[in-house]
Structure 1
Amino acid sequence: MGDSNSDPDAVRRDPVNAADPMVDAHAQPDEAAAEAALRPHTLAEFRGQPRVAEQLGLVLAAARNRAHVPDHVLLSGPPGLGKTTLAGIIANELGVPLRISSGPAIQHAGDLAAILSGLAEGEVFFLDEIHRMSRAAEEMLYLAMEDFRVDVIVGKGPGATAIPLQIPRFTMVGATTRAGLLPGPLRDRFGFTAQLDFYAPEALTEIVVTSARRLGVGLDPDAAAEIAGRSRGTPRIANRLLRRVRDYAAVKADGHITRELARAALKLYEVDERGLDRLDRRVLESLCTRFGGGPVGLSTLAISVGEEAETVEEVAEPFLVREGFLMRTPRGRAATPAGWAHLGLTPPSASPSPAAGAPSLFDGED
């Protein structure tokens, strides 16, 4: 078995012998430690994705019954929904170590070969952002996933020789936020694919209550619902908001979180009742007040709020579109009636229609 300490991009964890990483109520963990401590460790603890949990549970149970290594698993969905958590749960359920790396860290086939050759029999290898792996490493991964073999190239030029190297049978768990960027041959090598959805408010409320208990924080049920309702359907955001409200309660009150205190804390952190943060509101307000609701080009909209176009497109837009506050049209971005209403504004009667065919001053930017 290879030594994971020699590879800065891989982490080996033994879920059987590791201590339970609960958070000490008197300790002050950093953000990474707090995030890890709040993650569930078994499928029974995993909330909010019952369909995925049931399907994955069957895959793992069947593999244990046959004493075989489970099929490779692909997890796809937006950030923060639990892909990394599920990878850890798979290792915990199987009672095997977990090796972690990421697509951007594997830029050469040799990097991947070094990790794969150090795996133990039955080990789980989690590759985050798998769609960002280099093409050379990707082609090596095909062979490793299907035949549990890698070809190591020795020498250069005409004298180069490929030496086949058998590797132990392992379970590959890939995670991606952009499943459409994965080549078909790679997708086809995964025996089980799970698409994670955004969480319902009830599930997020349960997650907030559980996280508060692990953090040793007193929390009223209606306060948990308030935090969950502003979390964009994402557990990572819910836990982050809970930690910020906890800090506010510790400084401004006696540490116990009530609904009124949660509202005051989230107002301070500029998270409104629908989960929009400062950037989201700036984008929506600029679209409505400066450009009459649009349509307006992405570059112009980004300049108006002092951000890069990529930031607006990748950070603010997805949530605004999902909430029905903003539309992406062929002529640019346009505010919806729901977007105007959320800001407490009335759309102008002469507001341009997104479907109008007349050219716009901002057409052609995107």
Structure 2
Amino acid sequence: MVTLDNFIGNEDLKTLLKIETLAAKTKNRALPHTLLKGPAGCGKTTLAEAIAREFGTKPLALTPNTARKTELLRKFFLDMPDDGYDEEGNIVGRIQPQVVFIDECHQLSLAAQENLGIAMHDWKLPVRVDGRDEFEWVPRFCLIGATTLPGKLSKPFRDRFKIQAQFETYTHEEAVNIVRLHARNEGLQLGDGVADAVAKRSRGVARLIVRFLERLSAAAVVAAKDRPEARGVITQQLTEKVFKDFLKVDDRGLTTTDVKILKQLHKLEDAVGLDTLATVVNEDKSTVEQEVEPYLVQEGLIARTKRGRLITDEGRRYLFSEGYIQKAPVSGRGGRVIGAAKNE
């Protein structure tokens, strides 16, 4: 179980949240609304769960689609515990502030952002009753929004979040610690080098670490066969085999999808648009833009330009080292690189 104490990474944010949590409990109020920004799979949802545990609750999930519908949003707040309030919503006793979590909150409609913004600030929700526009009080809550695209939020709504934090991918050391923590929580025994092998393929993304360990755990059960005591043991040999033969993730963290993109860019030798890349790898554009492309850019394998995406010298060196092109890349004038593609 992840708590603020054992959550890995974002140390400054954790310290701030611990201070704010203690203050909220002492003053009998909700934690300030918090906006978590950053790449997918980097622990934003896990942190929201850890924050809720500090208040003895679980986060209440609110989807952008539910928030868009006034009646559903009203019911969402009516279902919250209202102990400690009088009939007008004033605090008269000990309250149980709820933690509301909205993933991909940039998908909220402008109307939903406006209504939630009022509730976040005034603890009142605009509703329509018997043909009249009225306000109903809502219990105190902390809204935690997670987003990969904070720029799509309206400024008034974004300003309602008093705590805002930028998440980044984890360092290798942090990723190793996450592997070990998750393995311990799942009762898995990791052989020498396994944590490092998983971490270096994870791209620094916690969600991938969890996914990899799930596959390795299943493979360990099969490999153990009639040895129940070994079903939770993951060896280095098993790890390498699973990554190579089943997950098809190399030791740099690149997948078959990544390689397809690099080979296509190498073949065309010109800037390529996002729509074309998505078609080549048979993925939707948002997946390529938010989950695939950032790592290739981070690793220096491709570059974004105004005209589109280009493969870099480093990208071609990777293709050559893995045998995907037959000639070593040579930098030409303007950084253009020449290399013959391997026939398939």
Cα distance change on mapping 1:312 and 1:87 into 2, 3 Å: closer
Alignment partner for residue 257 of structure 1, among 222, 229, 234? 234
Partner of 2:98: 123
Asked if the contact 2:113/2:154 (under 8 Å) is kept, the reply is no
Cα distance change on mapping 1:76 and 1:266 into 2, 3 Å: same
Alpha-carbon shift at residue 222 of structure 1 (Å): 1.2
Cα distance change on mapping 1:163 and 1:105 into 2, 3 Å: closer
1:137 and 2:112 aligned: yes
1:92 and 2:70 aligned: no
Question: Residues of 1 paired with 2:29 and 2:281: CA distance?
Answer: 55
Alpha-carbon shift at residue 320 of structure 1 (Å): 0.7
Q: Deviations over 1:271-324 (max 9, x none)?
A: 011111111111112212x223x3333344444445555543344212111111
**SS of 1:172 mapped into structure 2:** strand
Alignment partner for residue 317 of structure 1, among 287, 290, 293? 293
Asked if the contact 2:313/2:331 (under 8 Å) is kept, the reply is no
Residue identity matched to 1:281 = V
Moved more, 314-323 or 277-286: 314-323
Alpha-carbon shift at residue 202 of structure 1 (Å): 1.1
Residue identity matched to 1:283 = I
Alignment partner for residue 190 of structure 2, among 198, 202, 219? 219
Asked if the contact 1:270/1:277 (under 8 Å) is kept, the reply is yes
Residue identity matched to 1:339 = G
Question: Residues of 1 paired with 2:218 and 2:58: CA distance?
Answer: 35
Partner of 1:273: 251
Residue identity matched to 1:313 = E
Alignment partner for residue 347 of structure 1, among 329, 332, 335? 329
Question: Residues of 2 paired with 1:83 and 1:215: CA distance?
Answer: 21
Alpha-carbon shift at residue 44 of structure 1 (Å): 0.8
Partner of 2:180: 209
Residue identity matched to 2:135 = P
Residue identity matched to 1:85 = T
Cα distance change on mapping 1:59 and 1:249 into 2, 3 Å: same
Partner of 1:198: 169
**SS of 1:113 mapped into structure 2:** helix
1:296 and 2:272 aligned: yes
Question: Residues of 1 paired with 2:333 and 2:236: CA distance?
Answer: 39
**SS of 2:268 mapped into structure 1:** coil
Q: Deviations over 1:222-259 (max 9, x none)?
A: 11111011001011101111111222233235542222
Partner of 1:68: 29
Alpha-carbon shift at residue 60 of structure 1 (Å): 1.0
Question: Residues of 1 paired with 2:176 and 2:215: CA distance?
Answer: 16
Partner of 1:333: 309
Alignment partner for residue 150 of structure 1, among 113, 125, 137? 125
Partner of 1:111: 72
Aligned length: 309
Asked if the contact 1:150/1:164 (under 8 Å) is kept, the reply is yes
RMSD: 2.2
Cα distance change on mapping 1:299 and 1:70 into 2, 3 Å: closer
Residue identity matched to 1:330 = K
Question: Residues of 2 paired with 1:324 and 1:260: CA distance?
Answer: 30
Partner of 2:264: 286
1:231 and 2:202 aligned: yes
Question: Residues of 2 paired with 1:162 and 1:192: CA distance?
Answer: 31
Question: Residues of 2 paired with 1:123 and 1:302: CA distance?
Answer: 40
**SS of 1:106 mapped into structure 2:** helix
Q: Identity over the aligned pairs, expressed in percent?
A: 37
Alpha-carbon shift at residue 134 of structure 1 (Å): 2.1
Asked if the contact 2:313/2:335 (under 8 Å) is kept, the reply is no
Question: Residues of 1 paired with 2:272 and 2:330: CA distance?
Answer: 16
Name stretches of at least 5 consecutive residues in structure 2 with no aligned partner: 82-94, 225-229, 337-344
Residue identity matched to 1:265 = V
Question: Residues of 1 paired with 2:283 and 2:114: CA distance?
Answer: 38
Partner of 1:182: 153
Asked if the contact 1:223/1:259 (under 8 Å) is kept, the reply is yes
Question: Residues of 1 paired with 2:4 and 2:287: CA distance?
Answer: 35
Partner of 2:43: 82
Asked if the contact 1:81/1:236 (under 8 Å) is kept, the reply is yes
Asked if the contact 2:260/2:280 (under 8 Å) is kept, the reply is no
Asked if the contact 1:71/1:171 (under 8 Å) is kept, the reply is yes
Question: Residues of 2 paired with 1:314 and 1:352: CA distance?
Answer: 29
Residue identity matched to 1:162 = D
Alpha-carbon shift at residue 106 of structure 1 (Å): 2.6
Cα distance change on mapping 1:349 and 1:147 into 2, 3 Å: closer
